[in-house]
């Protein structure tokens, strides 16, 4: 796989910065890559490893064809060690094994790289063991830690690493990735309107409440769109049982907003103008009232009355 192309497209800033560091031989000894799943953290780890071992880089880009690049791709390079959680955690034995691998490598002892995926899953003893290793590296070692939960990485480890932030995915790319997970286009678009985090979007998509609610809110939208008086009764009959918690109440309005925006965009794509500004404006006002602690039922019923009026 050509990591460079992926990174140039999806993480242009991080990519150009890292490329400069490679060019000027200014790589840090330890990196902590922080950001959502799918944002290119692991691609960057692999790309860096290839930078250090590729036999035929061109313009500071690994060839992806030489024996070293291929061995890295197959996770068979003796100087590149990768650690991923064994079950729910990364255990101290995994870190010790890593250290053992490094100390026994004989004639190939030059640069060494280790990559720890989901580094927040290190248990305390693994983290402490790693910390010692980061403090007293033997030979030339590049350590790369990847995480999507920076807050769960021990501060002592954070302070030993240069932290690199990977931006959330662009909306189109997020939708594309969710589609690859088997999520329908409409749901993927809805999720992308609710969050720009891939991990969060997947979590929401697996939520039972969400999956029921998105269809019920769609029914409400249909009534509202047709200015059907049913839209008013619908609040008490169908929405109230769904809207027990504040977060759920917020999501209901966010979903409704999404359905109206999508309706407007679909008309625009056909070259038609459907003026939904008033509806959109009313939903935004409803969201503000909810935040001002007006009851959900009151806000939703008033919204329905105004839209169907």
One of 27, 63, 84, 216 touching Zn ion (CB under 5 A): 63
Question: In the beta sheet, which residues pair with residue 143?
Answer: 30, 114
Between 94 and 112, name the residue whose CB sits nearer to Zn ion: 112
State the residue for tokens 């983290």.
Answer: 127
Stretch that binds Zn ion, among 7-15, 19-27, 66-74, 140-148 (CB under 5 A): 66-74
Between 65 and 156, name the residue whose CB sits nearer to Zn ion: 65
CB of residue 12 to Zn ion, shortest distance in Å: 23
Q: Which two tokens stand for residue 99?
A: 């250290």
Q: Looking only at residues 29 through 58 of this chain, which bind Zn ion when binding is defined by CB under 5 A?
A: 54
CB of residue 25 to Zn ion, shortest distance in Å: 18
**For residues 62 and 51, what is the distance between their CA atoms, to the nearest angstrom?**
6
Between 66 and 218, name the residue whose CB sits nearer to Zn ion: 66
CB of residue 125 to Zn ion, shortest distance in Å: 37
Between 30 and 52, name the residue whose CB sits nearer to Zn ion: 52
Stretch that binds Zn ion, among 60-68, 122-130, 150-158, 186-194 (CB under 5 A): 60-68
Are 232 and 301 a contacting pair, CB within 8 Å? yes
Contacts of 305 (CB under 8 A, 6+ apart): 232
Count how many Cα atoms sit within 13 Å of the Cα of residue 233 in the half-sphere of its side chain. 3
Are 118 and 147 a contacting pair, CB within 8 Å? yes
Between 72 and 257, name the residue whose CB sits nearer to Zn ion: 72
Are 87 and 59 a contacting pair, CB within 8 Å? no
Are 202 and 178 a contacting pair, CB within 8 Å? yes
CB of residue 158 to Zn ion, shortest distance in Å: 32
Task: Count the neighbouring beta carbons within 10 Å of the beta carbon of residue 210.
Answer: 18
Between 66 and 308, name the residue whose CB sits nearer to Zn ion: 66
One of 46, 48, 49, 69 touching Zn ion (CB under 5 A): 69
Between 50 and 177, name the residue whose CB sits nearer to Zn ion: 50
141 is an interface residue for Zn ion by CB under 5 A: no
CB of residue 17 to Zn ion, shortest distance in Å: 22
CA dihedral 69, 53, 22, 31 (to 10 degrees): 90
Q: Which two tokens stand for residue 103?
A: 């100390």
Stretch that binds Zn ion, among 59-67, 215-223, 240-248, 287-295 (CB under 5 A): 59-67
Report the side by side order of strands in the sheet with 111-116.
Answer: 80-83, 111-116, 140-147, 30-34, 162-165
Number of residues that bind Zn ion (CB under 5 A): 5
Between 57 and 248, name the residue whose CB sits nearer to Zn ion: 57
66 is an interface residue for Zn ion by CB under 5 A: yes
**For residues 190 and 55, what is the distance between their CA atoms, to the nearest angstrom?**
46
Site string for Zn ion, 218-257 (x = CB under 5 A): ----------------------------------------
Task: Count the neighbouring beta carbons within 10 Å of the beta carbon of residue 290.
Answer: 20
CB of residue 15 to Zn ion, shortest distance in Å: 18
**For residues 189 and 137, what is the distance between their CA atoms, to the nearest angstrom?**
46
Are 142 and 112 a contacting pair, CB within 8 Å? yes
Strands (E), 29-68: 30-34
CB of residue 31 to Zn ion, shortest distance in Å: 21
CB of residue 139 to Zn ion, shortest distance in Å: 22
Between 3 and 301, name the residue whose CB sits nearer to Zn ion: 3
Point out which residues bind Zn ion (CB under 5 A): 54, 62-63, 66, 69
């Amino acid at each position: 796989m050509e990591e460079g192309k992926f990174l140039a497209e999806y993480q242009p800033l991080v990519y150009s910065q890292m490329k400069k560091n490679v060019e000027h031989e200014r790589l840090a000894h330890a990196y902590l890559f922080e950001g959502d799943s799918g944002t290119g953290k692991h691609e960057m780890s692999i790309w860096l490893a290839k930078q250090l071992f590729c036999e035929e880089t061109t313009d500071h880009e690994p060839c992806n064809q030489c024996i070293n690049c291929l061995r890295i791709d197959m996770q068979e390079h003796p100087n590149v060690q990768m650690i991923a959680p064994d079950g729910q955690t990364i255990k101290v034995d995994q870190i010790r094994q890593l250290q053992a691998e490094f100390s026994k490598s004989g004639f190939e002892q030059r640069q060494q790289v280790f990559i720890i995926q989901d580094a927040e899953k290190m248990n305390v003893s693994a983290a402490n063991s790693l910390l010692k290793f980061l403090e007293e590296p033997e030979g030339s070692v590049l350590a790369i830690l990847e995480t999507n939960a920076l807050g769960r990485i021990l501060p002592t480890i954070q302070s030993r690493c240069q932290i690199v932030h990977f931006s959330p995915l662009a909306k189109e790319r997020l939708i594309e990735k969710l589609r690859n997970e088997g999520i329908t286009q409409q749901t993927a678009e809805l999720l992308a309107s609710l969050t720009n985090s891939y991990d969060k979007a997947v979590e929401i998509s697996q939520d039972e409440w969400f999956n029921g609610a998105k269809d019920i809110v769609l029914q409400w939208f249909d009534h509202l769109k047709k200015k059907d008086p049913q839209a008013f009764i619908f609040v008490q009959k169908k929405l109230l049982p769904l809207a027990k918690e504040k977060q759920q109440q917020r999501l209901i309005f966010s979903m409704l907003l999404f359905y109206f925006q999508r309706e407007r965009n679909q008309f625009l794509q056909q070259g038609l103008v459907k003026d939904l500004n008033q509806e959109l404006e009313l939903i935004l006002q409803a969201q503000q009232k909810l935040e001002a602690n007006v009851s959900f039922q009151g806000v939703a019923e008033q919204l329905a009355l105004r839209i169907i009026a």
